[in-house]
A and B are shown apart, each in its own frame.
Chain A
Amino acid sequence: MSKSRRDNAGGNRNRQAHPRFARARALAAGLALPALLALPALLPLPAAAEGFGLGRTALPQELAAWDIDIRPDGLGLPEGSGDVQTGEALFSERCAVCHGDFGEGVDRWPVLAGGQGTLADRDPVKTVGSYWPYLSTLWDYVHRAMPFTEAHSLNVNDTYAIVAYILYSNDIVDDDFTLTRENFATVEMPNADGFFVDDRDQVEVPAFSAAPCMHDCKTDVHITRRATVLDVTPETETDTETGDETASAEAPAAPPEPTGLDPVLVAAGEQVFRKCAACHRIGTDARNAVGPVLNGVVGRHAGAIDDFRYSPAMKAAAEDGLVWTPELLDAYLTDPKTIVPRGRMSFAGLRRAEDRAAVIAYLQAQEG
């Protein structure tokens, strides 16, 4: 593919390395590549005419849709900008449910801020600020894969703004900062110099390649640590589980509960519920997770799970008497923000009416 065609394919996305990325480029150039990287030119490759003639040429629109990666030298970074203030609002709405309002992390979801100076500690705190060497990695990842339940839902300027806010939460920029394609390379990541290329071939392989000892290799052998002291191993071979599975497999299908629900619809809803399962638990022994437990949610008042930390918006809706009727759930699952505008549920919604009906039937089938 010609350079010009590649640039066209990227639309307004600039695929040329930006001149201000000199530092990043110098860093990359200064890294000693492993010896194996020196070989490619020697390997035989069939000339173009020797190919199989398979596949078809990728179209510019197709390349633009999939080629969204960003590199440390700025290649691929689109035009756009976003400021810390905008990013804070977006982060609160789209990211805070898992990462916390300040990037401190909820439960065990990744901590994004803080931790600088801890990398040599017994328990390092690895965050964007303390660990990530390249800002491009953050932009690429947020744009590529976040929010966790809604990949590819953040536009370019949203991404700039959220990245700006994460930088701010790590004290890397001030609160009046606006991140743009032009100033992207000027941001210095605190741990940019904290990495070195795999040196096992030099440091470890020689040390671990001596002829091994076979006899009288040590004088004293005693146990120094035991796993049973911790006892953190999950139970295996649980007879009760196996028994349950066997029973359910062999017993005739249980008669449907007298709920009036269509069992086919409920079963379909169980499949749809997978989209919800990243954040919500349901069924026997289910507990709150990122989202509240959903047993018995249909017909219940909003915000009714005592030990779940609802958003202020959801608490307000609860005080207004919001009840999760099937009709309201249908609207909420179509577009959550139309029902609870500043709620924390980061979910794009279910576009297909039959999916909503199915998942609501599935929810109804789960008793409180």
Chain B
Amino acid sequence: MTDKSASPPSPEPSFHPDPATGPAPAGAQTGPSRRRVLGALAAGAAGAATGAATGTASGASAAGTPDPLITENQPWSTTLGEGVDVTPYGLPIHFESDVVRRNVPWLTAETISSINFTPIHALEGTITPQGCAFERHHAGAIELSKADYRLMINGLVDRPLIFTFEDLLRFPRETRVLFMECAANSGMEWAGAQLNGCQFTQGMIHNMEYTGVPLRLLLAEAGVQPAGKWVLVEGADASGMSRSLPLEKALDDCLVAFQANGEALRKEHGYPVRLCVPGWEGNMWVKWLRRIEVGDQPWEHREETSKYTDTMADGRSRKWTWVMDAKSVITAPSPQMPIAHGPGPLVITGLAWSGRGKITRVDVSKDGGRSWETARLSGPAHDKALQRFYLDTVWDGSEMLLQSRAIDETGYVQPTKDALRAIRGENSIYHMNGIQTWFVAADGRVENVEVSS
């Protein structure tokens, strides 16, 4: 799709749209999606008018006219559907074909070293299906078979070892749910509200149930020498992705995973084997993991010096910013999920997560942070995993400034964007976990905005 973009190629995300070569100017985008959103809103307004009399905004019946979907036989009720085996491995029904990963062409016109975004606005619960979980490749998604897979452990170990994929299956394994967030998620928003849709502003995240071998078991098999303090984890793709991990984290909760959501890792997520580094930035979750080296010092490779370091206002930069701070976002209503049903009962929902542990509370504001209500958490509260929240409310049809605020088990409270800027400036690129504001207009449309502190 990016082949059609107007942007020149770039292998690295750029966080300022280039007005000369980037997106179309304001007002130039009049594509079908806008019409569709507006059409939906118009239908919603009509429904609301009808519903006002009956106390409900549901159903197409008006003024006592029977609904033909009920009174007339429909094709799906009178003819046969598909048999089994028509689709041995299924995709979502075509009605859902707009729930897909999307990229931002002006970020990277070149898609080999690029990123796209999870459609979190359209998902529910907490588990991200692999097929729509965001991708970030540095040299493309490679095809590496289980038969060709090798994992090397070397460096300051008693026995440098080679494991095959089959070897990994003979170690004790664990299953746990984990979120994985790119450190650059929301990075385009440092200088102000920019992208209209939580898929783009918070969608560099996914949450899966992984199965794999604890990294500490593999390291123990090789025998870490006392001088070992760090490990280098490295991928098999042409980027040779490499990151330094402190040994303490490697021995704590890292997982050498081969399954996600019950099935093999998808190619784009590192088939056959990737590393999971719970709660830490996604770049460290090396895909196609092929080597683990134990050393006494960090390696300071490209992805931990020139990238994934956070430049402060004075020009100095933080490094080793591994933990993902607590964060949340309202996924609906949101710019891609306007309110189409008019005033009345409204479900406000979203996601919260923290790299430091479990989410214990999420607050929601409808007035831009002047007052807050505590939302209802739903589903299991996993450590370092996405948490779904709901605020069941009644919308009176007036404008709202929706915000959500995550609180984790350490007591960390998700800050405002301005609070982050006051400490870090606007050139940090990474680790933007500030509170998101959605402006909801009276017609139900939603826009990404920022409000006064």
Residues of A within 8 A of B (CB): 1, 6, 9, 28, 33-34, 36-41, 43, 45-46, 48, 50-52, 54-58, 62-63, 66-67, 69-73, 75, 107-110, 119-120, 122-124, 126, 128, 131-134, 136-137, 140-141, 144-145, 148, 151-152, 194-200, 203-205, 207-210, 212-218, 220-240, 242, 245-246, 249, 274, 277-278, 281, 283, 285-287, 289-290
Contacts and interface: CB of A to CB of B under 8 A. Distances in A.
A55 B161 contact: yes
A232 B221 contact: no
A64 to B, nearest CB: 10
Residue among A56, A216, A233, A287 with max Cβ neighbours from chain B (10 Å): A233
4 closest A-B pairs by beta carbon, nearest first, are A108-B10, A107-B8, A119-B315, A120-B315
Contacts of A70: 299
B33 A198 contact: no
A71 B16 CA distance: 33
Contact of A57 (B17, B110, B159): B159
A238 B323 contact: no
B306 interface: yes
Contacts of B152: 58, 62-63, 66-67
Contact of B167 (A55, A73, A210, A221): A55
A173 B188 CA distance: 36
Contacts of A145: 138-139, 238-240, 302
Contacts of A119: 311, 315-317
Interface string B265-276: 000000000000
B314 interface: yes
A51 B221 contact: yes
Interface residues of B, number: 143
B176 interface: no
B450 A224 contact: yes
Given A36-B248, A246-B94, 13 more contacts: A1-B154, A52-B170, A54-B167, A73-B297, A110-B11, A140-B301, A199-B318, A231-B25, A232-B106, A235-B29, A235-B34, A237-B36, A245-B97
Contact of A141 (B171, B224, B302): B302
A228 B196 contact: yes
12 contacts: A6-B160, A9-B160, A51-B220, A66-B154, A137-B300, A151-B239, A203-B423, A227-B195, A227-B335, A227-B447, A233-B104, A235-B29
A209 B160 CA distance: 44
B423 A204 contact: yes
A213 B450 contact: no
A218 B232 CA distance: 47
A205 B18 CA distance: 35
B24 A231 contact: yes
Contacts of B382: none
B10 A195 contact: no
A108 B246 contact: no
B71 interface: no
A231 to B, nearest CB: 4
A148 B237 CA distance: 12
B113 A212 contact: no
B80 interface: no
Given A107-B10, A221-B451, A45 B315 contact: no
A209 B299 CA distance: 33
A231 B411 contact: no
B55 interface: no
Nearest to B228: A40
Contacts of A69: 232, 234, 242, 293, 299, 301
A150 B161 CA distance: 28
A122 B335 CA distance: 29
B220 A67 contact: no
B371 A215 contact: yes
Contacts of B26: 228-231
Contacts of A221: 367-370, 401, 451-452
Residue among B224, B232, B318 with max Cβ neighbours from chain A (10 Å): B318
